[in-house]
């Protein structure tokens, strides 16, 4: 079981238009409505892999209701704490050439009582194998929220996983089971330059020394790296025609955690994760991976152990 926490989810409205023109009415051929947010993405991909998950976090207003409805319609269980202010709506305008104009709506402001209620609600359900804390926080939410949740999870024997940028440092010091930075995020976290597998490995070891048990570094088209107590593995990404890699990191994380929760080795978990990430890079726009693409790509992923 994987529980995900999305503090600031969104309702993504994608307008498909023939072209972008200003000062005139552009008629959309189609409007797609989808739940958005990094933790939400992890839960959606886990569900496509057939792995049980609960999407948790904050929602409010009609947009919040719709996010929950859309998730349930896909078979994702939800357990959101409610606030009065409406959840943000994002507008994505995509033309026939595939170019996107992305407008991210402002998130609601949350007060301290609501944050405390959220933290309590996260621990009401039976303990999961992994508790995923993913994405940016909201205005009013203390910057050490992930660190606080990670500490509480550790007390309950729950492995916490953090995929965030600015909040990563504080969470590390709290002791987390796994982090999933990309090359830039790992570079910022450790003050190292991360430009290839060898430099990613060195920087991941620095992050491990600071408190993360496992570091899974995603390297875009260069695949991903597992760094943990058992050693280091690199997985290559199959070459595919990339449409949009948005959400690829979230899909990678879902694959890795679903496999680990089912008892897979680090190498096998990394391979499934890379197949999910690459399958997501193939799909258009904000779409996540299709199960059939994951199954087709998985045998093409090559995993190498880096230390003897
Ligand atoms: N151009 C690409 N070709 C093949 N696979 C890719 C490509 N870009 C991304 N991937 C796959 O997706 C995984 C995650 O990618 P990436 O490192 O871009 O994550 P990220 O930056 O965290 O993305 P996001 O935060 O938008 O979800 C990679 O490990 C790889 O498997
Ligand atoms: Mg990412």
List, in order of start, the domains of the chain with CATH numbers: 2-6+37-86+109-305 (3.40.1190.20)
Per the annotation, the verdict on 250 as an active-site residue is: yes
Tens of pLDDT, residues 126-160: 999 999 999 888 878 888 899 999 999 999 999 99
Ligand 1, residues at Cβ distance < 6 Å? 182, 218-221, 223-224, 237, 240, 242, 245-250, 252, 274, 277-278, 281
| Rounded-to-integer distance, Cα 228 and Cα 141, Å | 31
Do 118 and 140 touch, CB atoms closer than 8 A? no
Catalytic residue among 163, 250, 268, 293: 250
Beta strand 2-6 with 77-83 is: unpaired
Tens of pLDDT, residues 244-253: 888 999 999 9
Backbone angles phi, psi at 98, to 5 degrees: 90, 0
Tens of pLDDT, residues 264-304: 999 999 999 999 999 999 998 778 999 999 999 999 999 99
Does position 201 have pLDDT exceeding 90, yes or no?
yes
Q: What was the pLDDT predicted at 170?
A: 87
In DSSP terms, 91 is beta-bridged to 13, 103
């Amino acid at each position: 079981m994987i529980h995900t926490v999305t503090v600031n989810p969104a309702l993504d409205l994608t307008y498909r238009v023939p072209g972008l023109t200003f000062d005139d009415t552009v008629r959309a051929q189609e409007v797609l409505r989808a739940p958005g947010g990094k933790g939400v993405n992890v839960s959606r991909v886990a569900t496509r892999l057939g792995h049980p998950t609960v999407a948790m976090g904050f929602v409010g207003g009609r947009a919040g209701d719709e996010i929950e409805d859309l998730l349930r319609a896909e078979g994702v269980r939800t357990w959101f704490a409610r606030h009065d202010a409406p959840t943000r709506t994002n507008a994505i305008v995509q033309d026939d050439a595939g170019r996107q104009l992305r407008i991210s709506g402002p998130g609601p402001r949350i007060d301290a009582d609501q944050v405390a209620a959220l933290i309590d609600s996260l621990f009401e359900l039976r303990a999961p194998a992994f508790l995923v804390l993913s994405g940016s926080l909201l205005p009013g939410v203390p910057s050490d929220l992930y660190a606080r949740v990670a500490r509480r999870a550790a007390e309950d024997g729950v492995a916490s996983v953090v995929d965030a940028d600015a909040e990563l440092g504080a969470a590390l010091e709290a002791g987390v089971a796994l982090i999933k930075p990309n090359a830039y995020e790992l570079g910022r976290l450790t003050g190292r330059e991360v430009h290839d597998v060898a430099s990613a490995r060195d920087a991941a070891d620095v992050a491990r020394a600071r408190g993360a048990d496992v570091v899974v570094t995603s390297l875009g088209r260069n695949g991903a790296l597992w760094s943990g107590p058992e050693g280091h593995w690199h997985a290559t990404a199959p070459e595919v025609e990339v449409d949009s890699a948005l959400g690829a990191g979230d899909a990678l994380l879902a694959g890795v955690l679903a496999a680990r929760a089912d008892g897979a080795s680090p190498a096998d978990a990394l391979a499934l994760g890379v197949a999910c990430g690459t399958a997501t890079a193939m799909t258009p726009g904000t779409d996540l991976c299709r199960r059939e693409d994951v199954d087709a790509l998985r045998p093409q992923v090559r995993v190498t152990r880096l230390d003897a």
